[in-house]
Chain A
Amino acid sequence: MITLGVKEKNTFLPAVNKKSGANVLECYQCGKCVGTCPVSGFMDFPPREIMQMIKLGLKEEVFMANSSWFCLTCSACSGRCPREIDIPAVMEAIRHISIEEKYKSNNKKVRDIQKFHEIFLQMIKLYGRNYELRMMAEFNIRTRNLFKDMHLAPKAILKGKITLGHEKMKSAKAIQKMYKIAEKLEKTKS
């Protein structure tokens, strides 16, 4: 295995491989993913570099980078990867491991993305379905950007694009129980 001056044992690589089901070592750094990825230009490190950083065990640096949170899981990269590596699954593994290890990012964009997903999951927990208007309002409040997208609201509401009311499942309780069990499973797994 390549270690390139990294002295400690690399525990990050096997952890990512196990979680993602992919083998990051297969990557031969061709960069096709970088050219394919629609958001690689916005990433701190494009997918190719993230793959190499995992090989080198640079866990902190990978967590710090916005790359895994900017991945849109569009699967364009994995479709073209000549080594057939499931790169979106690798990005997902990075996110999940960083959440498990309670890593807090200080990148505002990353925190915004995380807040959005937290609010979305909260909506499902409450109603069993998404409540678009409340989700957007909560996002604006929690990111302290009250007027975001407000210019769209009058037209969107007037045209019925966004509805003021919302639906609730009859058995929203079943979803709340599901959340509890899933949380427990998340903690008990190896």
Chain B
Amino acid sequence: MKKLTYFPGCSAHGTSEEFDSTLKMVLKTLDVELEDIPDWNCCGATSAHVMTENLAYALPMRNLVLAEKLDSKTMGIACASCYQRMKVTKVHMDEQPVLAEKINSTIVEDGKYHGTVDVKSMLQYCYEDIGVDVIRSKVTKSLAGMKLACYYGCLLTRPVKITQFDSPEYPISMDRIVEALGAKATDFDYKTECCGASFSISNTDIVLELSGKILEMALESGAHAIVVACPLCQSNLDMRQPDIEKKSGKKYNIPVFYFTQLMALAFGYPQDQLKFPKHIIPVDEALSYIGKIEPEPEKVKRTKKAVEAESEVE
């Protein structure tokens, strides 16, 4: 059994509670033991770095300091925003010892920051540390028939200097995971477009427009549902979807899953444990495609003449 330090983040105990609970199920099946950071604090999210410099480093640093006292040398983070703040702090502190010394002075409890703990998003942990093959080996109920648009958002893969994970333009880690579950990942162009993030509350119009484009592109890619790894993306795309529909006059009706919900489903957990009723957009229709595999489109047969012409060109 592998050990992993776990930072749930505030939303895991609120809006994204289903992410937290399904993540725990999935990691149990994958033989990973989670150890919560004792009395963790909020990472400061968008607000701290927008408004101040020192606090934006100090809040994540306290969690990193606490994590150093635990067994595992890796911290897995559920929320994409928490992950980004924690990783930015780690990278900047490791690069700039003078700054690290200064921020260390804000920690009033025992312990100082040494940089011994690595920071990973749970998506990255599943993809890199567990691996697609192990995930595939645990599948008992294939999701074959489902077509999914994997949406990564901004913070999991960008900026490259900080995250050092997957591609900032066209990431594929989540695609590979859902493919291991048997589903088909669609060719989705808006994988890393921003959903509007924290403007959800302060500037809702922008979120409706940006998230609307993502929903539109996901439908166009032929997906039955969107898959995410970020609580804020999920709530913008799911909870705000009726408002987006009202504004654009179009019907999307496309559910938004956490990748861990689908993993748990494929690992054979009963549906009633996966918190699907929490979704604003009902998931039943998307799930009904499981098992209904469309036949591959027949390849266009080329005439003998065309084959000959081609070989002549070569």
How far is B278's CA from A128's CA once the two chains are assembled, in angstroms?
A: 26
A99 with B51, Cβ < 8 A, contacts A79-B159, A112-B202 known? yes
Q: Closest CB of chain B to A84's CB: distance in Å?
A: 10
Q: Is B168 an interface residue (CB 8 A)?
A: yes
Q: Closest CB of chain A to B115's CB: distance in Å?
A: 19
Contact call B206/A42, Cβ cutoff below 8 A:
yes
Contact call B55/A73, Cβ cutoff below 8 A:
no
Contact call A74/B194, Cβ cutoff below 8 A:
yes
Closest to B275 in A: A160
Q: Closest CB of chain B to A96's CB: distance in Å?
A: 6
Contact call B39/A171, Cβ cutoff below 8 A:
yes
Scan A103-126; emit 1 where CB is below 8 A from any B CB, else 0: 000000100111111101101100
How far is B49's CA from A139's CA once the two chains are assembled, in angstroms?
A: 19
How far is B51's CA from A178's CA once the two chains are assembled, in angstroms?
A: 16
Please, how many residues of chain B have a CB less than 8 angstroms from a CB on the other chain?
58
Q: Closest CB of chain B to A79's CB: distance in Å?
A: 5
Contact call A130/B106, Cβ cutoff below 8 A:
no
Q: Which residues of B contact A112 (CB under 8 A)?
A: 202-203
Contact call A186/B203, Cβ cutoff below 8 A:
no
Contact call A72/B55, Cβ cutoff below 8 A:
no
A117 with B159, Cβ < 8 A, contacts A73-B46, A185-B106 known? no
Q: Is A144 an interface residue (CB 8 A)?
A: no
Q: Closest CB of chain A to B132's CB: distance in Å?
A: 25
Q: Is A156 an interface residue (CB 8 A)?
A: yes
Contact call A186/B54, Cβ cutoff below 8 A:
yes
How far is B203's CA from A115's CA once the two chains are assembled, in angstroms?
A: 11
A161 with B102, Cβ < 8 A, contacts A73-B46, A75-B158, A132-B15 known? no
- Mark the stretch among A4-12, A27-35, A49-57, A162-170 that contacts chain B: A162-170
Q: Which residues of B contact A72 (CB under 8 A)?
A: 154, 194, 196-199
Q: Is B42 an interface residue (CB 8 A)?
A: yes
Q: Is A2 an interface residue (CB 8 A)?
A: no
Q: Closest CB of chain B to A16's CB: distance in Å?
A: 14
Q: Is A15 an interface residue (CB 8 A)?
A: no
Q: Is B10 an interface residue (CB 8 A)?
A: yes
Contact call B54/A117, Cβ cutoff below 8 A:
no
Q: Which residues of B contact A178 (CB under 8 A)?
A: 55, 58-59, 62, 106-108
Contact call A121/B51, Cβ cutoff below 8 A:
yes
Contact call A186/B202, Cβ cutoff below 8 A:
no
How far is B88's CA from A88's CA once the two chains are assembled, in angstroms?
A: 13
How far is B258's CA from A133's CA once the two chains are assembled, in angstroms?
A: 22
Scan A73-110; emit 1 where CB is below 8 A from any B CB, else 0: 11110110000001010001001100100000000010
A115 with B202, Cβ < 8 A, contacts A130-B10, A132-B15 known? yes
Find A73's partner among B49, B108, B201 (CB 8 Å cutoff): B49
Q: Which residues of A contact B107 (CB under 8 A)?
A: 178
Near A by CB (< 8 A), chain B positions 78-136 give: 102, 105-109
Q: List 17 A-B contacts (CB under 8 A).
A: A42-B206, A72-B197, A72-B198, A73-B50, A73-B154, A78-B159, A92-B49, A117-B202, A118-B47, A121-B48, A130-B14, A149-B201, A156-B239, A171-B39, A174-B62, A181-B106, A182-B58
Q: Which 4 A-B pairs have the closest CB atoms?
A: A74-B154, A116-B202, A120-B47, A117-B47
Supplied contacts A123-B42, A130-B14, A181-B108, 12 more A-B pairs, CB within 8 Å: A79-B168, A116-B47, A117-B202, A121-B48, A121-B55, A124-B44, A124-B59, A128-B42, A159-B279, A161-B15, A169-B40, A182-B52
